[in-house]
Amino acid sequence: MTQFNEKNNALQQEINSVVWRACDTFRGTIDPSQYKDYILVMLFVKYLSDLHRDRYNPPKQSSARTKP
pLDDT (tens digit, 9 = 90+) per residue, 1-39? 567 777 788 889 999 899 888 877 877 777 777 878 888
Range of the domain at 38: 2-56
Higher local confidence (pLDDT), 45 or 29: 45
Whether residue 13 is contained in a domain is answered as yes
Is residue 64 assigned to a domain? Answer: no
pLDDT top residue among 54 and 31: 54
In-domain check, residue 46: yes
Instruction: Tell me, yes or no, whether 62 lies in a domain.
Output: no
Best CA proximity match to 39, nearest among 26, 56, 52, 28: 26
Give CA–CA dist 30/36, Å, rounded.
11
Is the residue at 63 inside a domain? no
| pTM exceeds 0.85 for this model | no
Number of structural domains (the chain) is 1
Q: Residue 51's pLDDT is what? A: 93
